[in-house]
Structure 1
C-alpha cells in the first residue's frame, strides 16, 4: 500500500514512521495536527494495536482527537496530563536553526501550548519544508473576532518597521465566511515572503491588542525528522548536536491503512 502513495505522501509517511522511535510505553505524547501528523497518529495507533504500546495522547485539535480515537490511541486533555514527554507535529516551514512556521491547518494556538508543555518537540516533515529563511509560507496570526479589522490594520502598521519583504495580510476564509479556529478565533495570514528576524517579529506581533498568538515557533523545536520518498530519512537533533542520514525499511503493509477500533 505504501507504494501506492504519491512521492510527497510517502516522504511524510517515512518521517512519521521514524518519529515514533521517540515514543515509549508510559509516555504522555502531544499529537500534532496536519497531514504529516496524521500519518504519525496512524503509526502510533498501529503500535498500540499490534505491539501493546501503552501511551496517552494529548491532541492539538478536534480532528486529531477524532483520528486518535479512531485508530485506538487513548486521549486526555492537557490539563489532565499536566506535562508531556514529547510532542510530535508537522511544520509548514523550518530553517537551519529549527525555527518554524506553523498554523497552515489552523491549530497554531493549541499546537504551541502543547509543544511548550513538553520535554521535547519533534517536527516531522518532507524535504520541501526546509527553507533558508522563513516567510515564503504565509505566517498565520490568530486574532479574536472582536475588532479583527482594527487588529489587522495594527498588524500591517507594525510590519512597516519589521525586516520583511512583503506586508500584505488577508483574513483566512472558509468558503464565504471567516475560518474559525477550535478556540473560536479568526486567522490573519501575513504574506511576508521573507522574515529577516523571526524572533523579533514573534515578540512584536504578540504585543498587538487582539492578537492571541502567531505561527512562529522560536526555540521550541528540539529535533526534526525529514522524510524522503525513497525511504531515506534525515534526523537533526539540536540537543544531541547530531545530524543522521538513515535508510528506513518500510514493509508494504496494510496495517497503517486499516481502520482502528470504534
Structure 2
C-alpha cells in the first residue's frame, strides 16, 4: 500500500488548479479533506473578487471552510444542477477511487454523482497501480456486527474507526459508524462496490468506481491532469 501524505505545496497546486475551472454562475460541490480545502479557499477568493458562485458542501468541515471563505451555500434540493464538484481522494487507480478518510463519503458520493463534472484533486502519494487502501464503510449503528460479518465473508478485515480526542468510535455527520475494511489489492472494484452496497445497514462505502472525469495531481513544480 502506498504511503499516505503529501506536501502542502502539491496539494495547494492541485486544489487551486481545480478552482480555475469555476466560472461565474456555477454551483460547485465542495469536497472534504486537506487538498479540497485549498480549492475551497481559492473559490472563496473568486467570490470575493465578484464571481457569482454557490457551493454545496459535503461535510461539516467543508461547510465551515466555505463560510469562512465567504462562499454562499445551498442544499442539493435548492438547485437544478451541480455544474462542478471538486473533491479529494485517499487513493486512486485509473478512474477508480477510495474515499472516506474524513468519514464524509456518503454525502460526497451524492454530490459528486450529481455533478455534471467531477474533478479529483490529489498529490502523488495517492496514486496506485491498483486500489489497496482500506475501504471506509458507513453503517447504521445496529448493523455494525452484521456488516462486519459480511465484509469478512468478502475477504476483508473490518476495523471500527476510533475517534481521536474522545473515547469511542467516530460518528459521521449522519450519526452512523465507520468500518475501515482492508481487502488488500482490489482486483474488481466494481464487483466489490456492488457487494458492499447490497449489505443491509450499509449507508455508503468509499469505492467511487468510474466516477471521476479528471484527476489533477499536484507536484512541487506543477500539476498533471489525468483523464481516466
> Structure 1 segments of 4 or more deviating over 2 A?
none
Is residue 222–residue 237 contact of structure 1 (8 Å, CA) maintained in 2?
yes
Is residue 31–residue 58 contact of structure 2 (8 Å, CA) maintained in 1?
yes
Residue in structure 2 matching 1:210, options 201, 205, 213: 201
The answer to whether structure 1 residue 178 and structure 2 residue 169 are counterparts is: yes
Residue in structure 1 matching 2:152, options 148, 156, 160: 156
Secondary structure, aligned partner of 2:131: coil
The structure that has the greater radius of gyration is: 1
Residue 229 of structure 1 is matched in structure 2 by 220
Q: Deviations over 1:224-245 (max 9, x none)?
A: 1110022x1101234xxxxxxx
Residues 85 and 138 (structure 1), Cα distance of their counterparts in 2 relative to 1, 3 Å cut: same
Is residue 158–residue 179 contact of structure 2 (8 Å, CA) maintained in 1?
yes
Secondary structure, aligned partner of 1:195: coil
The answer to whether structure 1 residue 147 and structure 2 residue 147 are counterparts is: no
CA displacement at 1:48 relative to structure 2: 1.3
Secondary structure, aligned partner of 1:26: coil
**2: distance between equivalents of 1:119 and 1:20?**
15
TM normalised by structure 1 equals 0.82
**1: distance between equivalents of 2:68 and 2:58?**
16
Is residue 7–residue 229 contact of structure 1 (8 Å, CA) maintained in 2?
no
CA displacement at 1:7 relative to structure 2: 6.6
Residue 10 of structure 2 is matched in structure 1 by 11
Gaps of 5+ in 1: 1-5, 161-166, 239-262
Number of equivalences: 222
Residue 87 of structure 1 is matched in structure 2 by 85
The answer to whether structure 1 residue 32 and structure 2 residue 22 are counterparts is: no
Gaps of 5+ in 2: none
**2: distance between equivalents of 1:93 and 1:218?**
12
Secondary structure, aligned partner of 1:132: coil
**2: distance between equivalents of 1:18 and 1:12?**
10
Q: Deviations over 1:81-108 (max 9, x none)?
A: 2420010000011112x11000011000
CA displacement at 1:54 relative to structure 2: 1.1
Residue 78 of structure 1 is matched in structure 2 by 76
The answer to whether structure 1 residue 107 and structure 2 residue 104 are counterparts is: yes
**2: distance between equivalents of 1:26 and 1:82?**
13
CA displacement at 1:53 relative to structure 2: 1.5
Cα RMSD for the two superposed structures:
1.3
**1: distance between equivalents of 2:146 and 2:184?**
23
